[in-house]
Structure 1
Amino acid sequence: MMKPAIYFNELDDDVLQCMLCPNKCVIKPGQVGICKARKNIKGMMYSLNYGELTSIAMDPIEKKPLYHYYPGSEILSVGSWGCNLQCDFCQNWEISKQRPKTINRVIPDQLIEIAKSRESFGLAFTYNEPTVFFEFILDTARNAIREGIEIVLVTNGYIEEEPLGLLVQSVNAMNIDLKGWNSELYRKLGGEKKYVMKTIEKALEAGIHVELTTLVIPGENDSTEDMAEEVRWISSLSPDVPLHITRYYPAYKYDKPATPLETLTRLWEIAREQLNYVYLGNIPATNESNTYCPSCGALLIERSGYSIEVKNLDEEGRCSKCGKEIPVIL
């Protein structure tokens, strides 16, 4: 189910340059870009994965992870295939690095009807990189918003400013993967950190609910200095942006041992010096996954795995103990 792509430039001899993400792949006729999901067919750019789903499930919203966005709810989550970064530690490499043999095809209105039939308040585009699913997400989101269905993106944030500006008009929440403050790591992945930073800034400016995730990989992005710089920058945008510091496990081409828990705790402590809401993920349930009032310390949301209990929050999202307004959507 091919769909003409929106963002590309025409060069000489039917060569095209994709303008969707900062890779700006120059693609000759018959070839695909880095993401493998966009192809030059006789001088016209097509999305190869339009309407192609590899995964569909009702997930806890906390799995995205989004901790301040309808806590305790479930959302219909879907993924396609392809990715525009080259992470050798990818935990979903079966769908990010290739087109799987098993594909379910849908059109936007069908997916919206599935969400309604499962009584899901929204649609989350996740599992692989949503950026390379751009045209389908755009078509679906525009229709879904009219039906009162909210749109969530779980993304690496590696997208050009113009398509991002079009997309955010119909997006309600994003978890953006900030892979750390180490520019060398981003270069290894075939990207540049500055573009992800710009996506975070633009999403916040657009009024989207934004949470960030940093997967901590031993020897790559686990230095205390880098974390201090990362959270200093996040705090300059808003100290209320939730940050999820998550544990790496061996996957795909990486066989390094899992991140030591003491490393995660140390980075959590550093992040808490400048940010009000910092969480540890991919680990057994601990107090570091709960939400506390930054003013009075009251327990606001208690989490044990995906068992969620909202405690000292009133209906308007204020701490019932001290009245502080908490950035949470209930």
Structure 2
Amino acid sequence: YRVPWGLSPEERAGIAEATARGESSRLIGISLGKSASYVRHIRSKLARGLATNVRTGGLLVEGDTLRFPNEHRPGVPATLPLDEDLARLLGYYCAEGSVISNKNRPNSHVLNFSFGHCETALVEEVSRLLVRSLDVKAAHVGRSTTLAVTVNKSSAALLFKSLAGAHAAGKHVPRVFFNARRPIVEAFLDAYVEGDGHRYANGKVSATTVSRELAYGVAWLALKLGYLPSLYETAMPEQATIQGRMVNRAPRQYTVVWYENSAAKRKVVETEDFYLVPLRGISFIDYEGDVYNMEVEEEHNYLAGFFAISNCQNWLTSQALRDDSAGTAPRAMSAERLVSMARECGAKMVGSSYNEPLITAEWAVEVFRKARAAGFKTAFISNGNATPQVLDYLRPWTDCYKIDLKTMSDRGYRQLGGVVGNILETVGMVHERGFWEEIVTLVIPGFNDSEEELRSAAEFIASVSTDIPWHVTAFHQDYKMTENANTSPEQLIRACEIGRAAGLKFVYAGNLPGRVGRWENTHCPACDELLVERYGYIIRKMGVGADGLCPKCRTKIPGVWA
């Protein structure tokens, strides 16, 4: 909390300097217009190291309440249930509330709600909610343009400030509502709209604010309740005349609109999973700053500006050195730092990939040495263009080796800049040297998805070992490869069935979570017991322990188990 002083920091420093020169408190006081006793008081503070602008004081917890030092009893509740009363109170605050601080009393904060003179029902409602939620009584203050509800209690004011912001332009929806139950969200939005919005007879609801963050938060809550929101941004004049006086205003205001009546006609197509909104146009703006690519759970999609965004495919990494639009410039990194990052992230394995790790095998080994010493398993993710020498070099430090088998056609491989024979030879050499080996084939319609080619791939892998897992994954249009169609779940399932018919014990359909049935999971090849249940990258059930045995029939399950 801030310490109020009658002297500036420079004046207090001047007292210290004058004292060091031996000047009396009377002479110092005359120069500052202060009494000698006040100067002696400041000297005492300086000598004890207490002449600071800010001090720290702990909260005072008294039974079920807490308050700040020097704040009058009683305090506010130490814990607050997120019930509908508190949700409504916070809704009214986001609409009409603020926290007022007194410059002359830096530790005094007032919780304030401002309503029109005709909104007496809302004044009474907020007053009742303050008693029920915080056990505080509010004062009603009549002003020339508003009727205010005020609580002169710093603990209550700073609680609301921390949850939702202090003033109009800095308001935001309290984060706790984004994961709250539906009745709680409804209570918050209802109060917010009552305080600062409007409901129309046709089910339309609108609310306007000068806070961009608050507008987007309200829109998100409306979407959470199943209403498709629209958000409008409007540039405003910098000044306006209110009741005959000129006032400054925020440069932009934001209006959120949604319809609670589904019968209202809107230019949108609603599917089971998405709202498809027509685009009015596409434009570009210059931007400087950080750009983030997030990874989220389950289907790996998220909302950015209320657009459904799918995580970017691998070209962001693979093309980072040659295409500036990838936006992922490489960073200098030591082997020690990589291992430290793996530990910080709770990882169990360190892998080397992209672009092709075989061309930097020495770097991989340097990292793997330190990763092994730190207790991590290690993996190599490669296109399969290996030599016997590099595999011998990698083997002492590498547990797992994944190879992309892109096609069984030599012509197809030459289109990609490779030779199929080299890849098939590497598959055999990796298995012979005792790496744990897995094969991935990206199934691309029109390129490598014929039954003949898929059967050829499965039979080749089975000829090396039927224990080698084969992952068939779905292609989706991206970057410079947009001519081929996206792979369907049915095509992946058919590829899995071909692999199983060829004798492979472990065949998986990847990157279409929840849409490929049993082919996401690991089953015991002897008794068909479900061993590992997956949803995308999420492991829902792990039935195999470090011994690698099926818990039902005790068959040894090949793999690297922890």
TM norm structure 1: 0.68
Q: In structure 1, give the amino acid aligned to 2:513.
A: P
SS at match of 2:355: coil
In 2, distance between residues paired with 1:143 and 1:111?
9
Q: How does 1:286-305 map to 2 (within 5 A)?
A: 286-305=517-536
In 2, distance between residues paired with 1:179 and 1:187?
11
Quote the residue 2:425 is aligned against: 198
1:217-251 C-alpha deviation (Å, 9 max, x unpaired):
11111111111121111111111111000011112
Shift of 1:295: 1.3
In 2, distance between residues paired with 1:310 and 1:203?
30
Aligned 8 A contact 1:121 1:149 in 2: yes
Quote the residue 1:265 is aligned against: 493
5+ unaligned residues in a row in structure 1: which ranges? 1-54, 64-89
SS at match of 2:466: coil
Shift of 1:191: 0.5
Quote the residue 1:43 is aligned against: none
Match status 1:252 vs 2:474 = no
Deviates more, 1:126-135 or 1:187-196: 126-135
Shift of 1:188: 0.4
Aligned 8 A contact 1:168 1:203 in 2: no
CA-atom RMSD in angstroms: 2.7
Match status 1:96 vs 2:324 = no
2:510 to 260, 267, 281: 281
1:164-215 C-alpha deviation (Å, 9 max, x unpaired):
3212221111221111212211110110112222222222222211111000
Shift of 1:145: 2.3
Deviates more, 1:191-200 or 1:237-246: 191-200
Match status 1:318 vs 2:549 = yes
Quote the residue 2:395 is aligned against: 168
Shift of 1:311: 4.9
SS at match of 2:478: coil
Deviates more, 1:281-290 or 1:211-220: 281-290
In 2, distance between residues paired with 1:180 and 1:204?
19
In 2, distance between residues paired with 1:156 and 1:204?
15
SS at match of 1:283: coil
Task: Provide closer, same or farther for how the CA distance between residues 105 and 312 of structure 1 changes in structure 2, counting only shifts above 3 A.
Answer: closer
Deviates more, 1:305-314 or 1:190-199: 305-314
Instruction: Calculate percent identity across the aligned residue pairs.
Output: 33
Shift of 1:307: 2.8
In 1, distance between residues paired with 2:370 and 2:293?
19
SS at match of 1:324: coil
Aligned 8 A contact 1:298 1:312 in 2: no
In 2, distance between residues paired with 1:200 and 1:251?
28
In 1, distance between residues paired with 2:508 and 2:313?
20
Aligned 8 A contact 2:320 2:329 in 1: no
Task: Provide closer, same or farther for how the CA distance between residues 258 and 149 of structure 1 changes in structure 2, counting only shifts above 3 A.
Answer: same
Shift of 1:137: 1.1
SS at match of 2:362: helix
Match status 1:237 vs 2:237 = no
1:184 to 411, 418, 426: 411
Q: In structure 2, give the amino acid aligned to 1:267.
A: A
Quote the residue 1:11 is aligned against: none
Aligned 8 A contact 2:438 2:468 in 1: yes
Task: Provide closer, same or farther for how the CA distance between residues 103 and 175 of structure 1 changes in structure 2, counting only shifts above 3 A.
Answer: same
In 2, distance between residues paired with 1:247 and 1:170?
31
Match status 1:150 vs 2:381 = no
Shift of 1:321: 1.7
5+ unaligned residues in a row in structure 2: which ranges? 1-291, 301-311
Quote the residue 2:180 is aligned against: none
Deviates more, 1:245-254 or 1:145-154: 145-154
Match status 1:226 vs 2:459 = no
In 2, distance between residues paired with 1:56 and 1:169?
35
Which is greater in Rg? 2
Shift of 1:276: 0.6
Quote the residue 2:443 is aligned against: 216
Aligned 8 A contact 2:511 2:536 in 1: no
Quote the residue 1:33 is aligned against: none
Quote the residue 2:108 is aligned against: none
In 1, distance between residues paired with 2:296 and 2:558?
22
In 2, distance between residues paired with 1:277 and 1:149?
25
Aligned 8 A contact 1:158 1:196 in 2: yes
SS at match of 1:105: coil
Q: In structure 2, give the amino acid aligned to 1:233.
A: F
In 1, distance between residues paired with 2:444 and 2:464?
25
Deviates more, 1:318-327 or 1:122-131: 122-131
Match status 1:118 vs 2:345 = yes
Q: In structure 1, give the amino acid aligned to 2:531.
A: L
Q: In structure 1, give the amino acid aligned to 2:434.
A: G
In 2, distance between residues paired with 1:119 and 1:300?
23
SS at match of 1:218: coil
Aligned 8 A contact 2:513 2:520 in 1: no
- Structure 1 runs of 4+ aligned residues shifted over 4 Å read 55-60
Deviates more, 1:102-111 or 1:141-150: 141-150
Q: In structure 2, give the amino acid aligned to 1:128.
A: N
TM norm structure 2: 0.41
Task: Provide closer, same or farther for how the CA distance between residues 137 and 311 of structure 1 changes in structure 2, counting only shifts above 3 A.
Answer: closer
Aligned 8 A contact 2:467 2:506 in 1: yes
| Larger RCO, structure (CA 8 Å, separation 6 or more) | 1
Aligned 8 A contact 1:299 1:311 in 2: no
Deviates more, 1:255-264 or 1:237-246: 255-264
In 2, distance between residues paired with 1:131 and 1:196?
13
